Structure 1
Amino acid sequence: MNEFKPKNNDGNIAFGFIILGIGIILLLRKAGVFIPGWVTTWPMILIAIGTFAIIKHEFKSFFGFVLLFLGAYFLLRNEFDFDFGLSQYIWPLGLIALGIYLIFQKQRENKVLENVRRDWESKRQANTGYSKTYVEEAKVVGENEPSSSFAQGAKSTSGFTRTTGTAFSDRLNIDAIFSGVNRKLMTKNFEGGKITAAFGGIDLDLTSADFNGVITIQVDIIFGGVKMVVPPHWDIRTEITNIAAGIEDKRYFREGGVDPNKVVVLKGTILFGGLEIKSF
């Protein structure tokens, strides 16, 4: 099993320094020390949160860049009268940026699924029993439907998602933007992945998934919620930054405790949202 090594940049410590800095600034202002007024305005909060998210996620946080841009724009407009003529275009530009992000994200997802399909085909041809596992899982889900249709689907496609919300891919890649997503993952080779909820919600059922070792799930939530149902013996570890948000672990633990060979590391940022972890 791969050894779990937490990242050195602890999100709670960094966010603690941000709160400490805000407190010091407010104290200095009360003591009569000159602090520019724009330092304590609400756009600076967006700038601080966006900068923090970008640095924490190694300059790969889409929401971090969005918050940084919005904070900088409103700060320059409100405090320095630099409008740049963008007032009437700010929301259309935001929607365009979101659309471009979703398009490129879908292209990356298709590439991942294509790689999974090729890997599955190679393993099937090598008679490793990999395809048998997919067909058996499909039969369990579709016991009220002809099993031949599931077998044909397993032979022709890997990483597919049925209209019922059941997915047979090894990696998660879920985006809920102004919408809700229900997903049940069926795989015995779970590799982690990413889930993003922006003004939406995700219900994720992982009770039929299995793996060995350490996997990572990137969780980014802004004004949304995610409910994750996992087996009670999984070792769930969080490196998530909470900003006006909450994480609830409602799992029922077994007497045997957690399995050290099944470690799930949750990383990401929750802004004005929530994450709920449950088990049956």
Structure 2
Amino acid sequence: MDSIQQDSARSQDQQQPPKNKKNLWAGLILLAVGAILLLNTLGVDFPSWIISWPMGLIVIGLAIGVSNKFRDFSWLVVSGVGTFFLISRLFPDIQVYRFILPVAFIAVGLIVLYGAKGSWFSRKRRDEDKQYGLVTDDSGPLTEDQRLELIAVFGGIKKTVYNKNFRGGEIVTIFGGGEVNLLNADFNGTIILEVVHLFGGVKLQVPAHWEVSTSEAVAVFGGIDDKRNFSVPTDPAKKLIIRGTIIFGGLDIRSY
């Protein structure tokens, strides 16, 4: 009996996501930043570019990437902006502003490609989630409205889902926003909704009895405002996990 219990415990441990490794790298980054600031306070002479706000953006971007296992491109945007301004400091003779327009077009192109390849990324993430037992409702082929794949760049989106076998999905907003209504949707088990909001946000409406977790979402210069009706008992058999990155934006969760 003891051996069976031990085997069961080991099996459960193997199904848990390796969060400790992720926290290790995030902790090492914070320790390195703290050590540099402490040494600078004690009089150690560092180059001025090391202790600057562009370098701070680069570090924040890397920390975001580590926290979400580089699942999306938000960390690259933050680190890219920091790198852009850092180059202008290190090489003042270079007219960095001349590169803003072409880089913007390249960034938008990458976002469009992300949308075109979204199904591949989704399958990769779903396979990883199933490995750790995070997705319990994944039977049969996907049909229309079962999975969200929404991208808004310099614009808005508005979507209402009626499917009773909803599987989650992804919502990406860049300098835009929108509204996603899930009040008429339904599912059984655990599903995941990935969000990436850069200088934008979304109002998300969910049924009051859904159990919603936002612990895996990272907000930098932004926030998550949960305005659901907490007087309604939640159903543990219907768990929605929201994860992703919100930068200079917000996610508004409501149940009405």
User: One fold, TM greater than 0.5?
Assistant: yes
5+ unaligned residues in a row in structure 1: which ranges?
A: 113-129, 131-157, 160-168
Specify which of 107, 111, 115 is matched with residue 116 of structure 2. 107
Is 1:46 matched up with 2:23?
Answer: no
Normalised by the size of structure 1, how large is the TM-score? 0.68
Paired residues for 1:250-265 under 5 Å: 250-255=227-232, 257-265=233-241
Secondary structure (helix, strand or coil) at the match of 2:79 reads helix
CA distance in 2, matches of 1:219, 1:270: 8
Q: Is the 8 A contact 1:237 1:263 kept in 2?
A: yes
CA deviation string 1:214-265 (max 9, x = no partner): 111111111112111111111111201111111111111245x211111111
Paired residues for 1:128-147 under 5 Å: none
Secondary structure (helix, strand or coil) at the match of 1:40 reads coil
Is 1:74 matched up with 2:50?
Answer: no
Is 1:248 matched up with 2:242?
Answer: no
Specify which of 215, 227, 236 is matched with residue 212 of structure 2. 236
Specify which of 242, 247, 252 is matched with residue 276 of structure 1. 252
Q: Is the 8 A contact 1:246 1:274 kept in 2?
A: yes
Is 1:175 matched up with 2:175?
Answer: no
- Bigger Rg, structure 1 or 2: 1
Secondary structure (helix, strand or coil) at the match of 1:73 reads helix
5+ unaligned residues in a row in structure 2: which ranges?
A: 1-11, 122-139
CA distance in 2, matches of 1:269, 1:108: 19
CA distance in 1, matches of 2:189, 2:218: 24
1:218 is aligned with what amino acid? E
CA deviation string 1:97-123 (max 9, x = no partner): 312431x234335889xxxxxxxxxxx
* CA separation of 1:212 and 1:218: change in aligned 2, threshold 3 A: same
2:159 is aligned with what amino acid? R
* CA separation of 1:5 and 1:200: change in aligned 2, threshold 3 A: farther
Q: In percent, how many aligned pairs have the same letter?
A: 38
Aligned residues: 222
Paired residues for 1:103-252 under 5 Å: 104-108=113-117, 159=144, 169-238=145-214, 239-252=216-229
CA deviation string 1:111-155 (max 9, x = no partner): 89xxxxxxxxxxxxxxxxx9xxxxxxxxxxxxxxxxxxxxxxxxx
CA distance in 2, matches of 1:14, 1:207: 38
Question: What's the CA shift for 1:178?
Answer: 1.2
1:93 maps to what in 2?
A: 103
The farther-off stretch of 71-80 and 188-197 is 71-80
Secondary structure (helix, strand or coil) at the match of 2:44 reads coil
CA distance in 1, matches of 2:31, 2:196: 24
2:47 maps to what in 1?
A: 36
Normalised by the size of structure 2, how large is the TM-score? 0.74
2:100 is aligned with what amino acid? I
Q: Is the 8 A contact 1:11 1:240 kept in 2?
A: no
Secondary structure (helix, strand or coil) at the match of 2:117 reads helix
CA distance in 2, matches of 1:110, 1:8: 25
CA distance in 2, matches of 1:45, 1:81: 19
Secondary structure (helix, strand or coil) at the match of 2:100 reads helix
CA distance in 2, matches of 1:214, 1:274: 24
